[in-house]
Amino acid sequence: MVRTIEDMSLVGHTCAVPVSDEQLWEVTAQWLAGGLAADERVVYFEDETAGAVLGRMADDGVPVRRALDEGRMVIVPTAQTRAAAARPVARYEEMFLDQIDRASAQGFTGLRMSGECGSELLRAGGVDRVVEYEQVVDRVLRSHPSARLLCRYDLPRFDEDAVSQMRELHETELIGEAVYDDNLLRITRSDPSTARLAGEVDHSNRPQIRKLLETVLDQALRSHWASSDITLDLSSLRFLDVAGAVSLVHAAEEFPSTHRLVLTGVRPRVVRVLDRCGAPFAAQLVVVPRTGQHRREGGRHHSPS
């Protein structure tokens, strides 16, 4: 029943139960990006959340601007999303069939959708209305295997009972494993020497950085295959406080001489904090700013490895 996100091509009507906003943006962005990669028409029903989703897709290196310009991706504006959720349930079938027709008429391989419909429906008619909607949608999607929909049920908005009801209604659930998620900062790992930080680092969660680096470094040192670069992807890190920056700089300084700490996709705001905390003088720290091309090596005693 439960599949990992790598199997997305097999998934039709699926759900996710994010524990935090960061996870919500992460899973939505991956879902929509998967559609773009598969040459599907991508539709996102927004409710003042398009900025966060498109931002996360841009962080992930997805060429969103181009996809929007070329009409491969469509954002349904907030007012329309709310109006759609207010319609009688019987109209949903019509709406989805219309979307499916449009996608095939334009020559896409399929249709991939996600958005804020669930929470709008909840507002409009409670859990019962969401259930009705899901049943209609499921019927439509079963008869149109090239159409896919991700429904998101986040716990603060949907209580435990509602969430388990929703899980029943979906064949699959997208699971995003996190090493840490406190709704301000989310840490995920993709391979033994890489981790990704999304959100904000401050006094409340700063110790997690040190803990993470210790674990990743330890695993890298024990593995013969792991890279000698420990990489932290900071492209979705929107705030780093001074002590957090100092702890990254100190951690790199304490790395064994064989290893480097590489920070990638670093936003200008975070680059400035790192610069003010001695990052340019840490020999084993490499800061790669978000714009990409310009690679800045720390330290004068740096030797390429």
Partner 1 sequence: MRVENTRSGRWVRLQHAAAFHRSRTDLVDQVLPMVLDGLRGGTPVALSVDPATESAVQRELDGTAGLILLSRPDGPDGESGQTLAARRARELRELVSATGRPLIVINEHTSRLDGVDGTFWTELDAAFNIALAELPVTMTCFYPELPLHREILDGARRNHPLLAVRGEMAHNPHHLAPREVLAEQPAPAPVLLGPPELRLPFGAWQLHDVRSAVEDALLSANCPRERAEDVVLAVNEVATNAVEHGDARAELLIWVTDDGVVCEIHDAGSLRDPLPGLQAPHSSNPRGRGVWIARQLCDSLHVWTDDRGTHVRMRASP
| Residues lying near partner 1 in the complex (CB under 8 A) | 184, 200, 202-204, 239, 241-243, 246, 250, 268-269, 272-273, 276-278, 281
Pairing of strands 185-191, 180-181: antiparallel
Tokens 């399929």 correspond to 110
Smallest gap, in angstroms, from Cβ of residue 261 to partner 1?
A: 16
Smallest gap, in angstroms, from Cβ of residue 5 to partner 1?
A: 28
Smallest gap, in angstroms, from Cβ of residue 290 to partner 1?
A: 14
CB nearer partner 1, residue 134 or residue 181:
181
CB nearer partner 1, residue 54 or residue 100:
54
Going through 10-105 in order, the beta strands assigned E by DSSP cover 13-16, 41-45, 73-76
**Sheet of strand 285-289, all strands in order from the earlier edge strand to the far edge:** 180-181, 185-191, 194-201, 229-240, 260-266, 285-289, 296-297
Tokens 């979307």 correspond to 99
φ, ψ at 266 (rounded to 5°): -75, 125
Smallest gap, in angstroms, from Cβ of residue 273 to partner 1?
A: 6
CB nearer partner 1, residue 142 or residue 276:
276
Smallest gap, in angstroms, from Cβ of residue 279 to partner 1?
A: 11
- Please provide the DSSP assignment of 5-35 as one string: GGGGGG-SEEEE--SSHHHHHHHHHHHHHHH
**What are the residues whose beta carbons fall under 8 Å from the beta carbon of 187, sequence distance 6 or more?**
178, 179, 180, 181, 195, 196, 197, 198, 208, 212
CB nearer partner 1, residue 204 or residue 223:
204
Smallest gap, in angstroms, from Cβ of residue 275 to partner 1?
A: 11
CB nearer partner 1, residue 171 or residue 253:
253
Smallest gap, in angstroms, from Cβ of residue 238 to partner 1?
A: 10
CB nearer partner 1, residue 129 or residue 250:
250
> Is the Cα dihedral 214, 219, 222, 226 positive or negative?
negative
CA 12 to chain centre: 19
**Sheet of strand 172-175, all strands in order from the earlier edge strand to the far edge:** 3-4, 172-175, 13-16, 147-152, 111-115, 41-45, 73-76
CB nearer partner 1, residue 111 or residue 197:
197
Could you give the C-alpha distances from 66 to 63, 92, 133, in angstroms and in order?
6, 29, 32
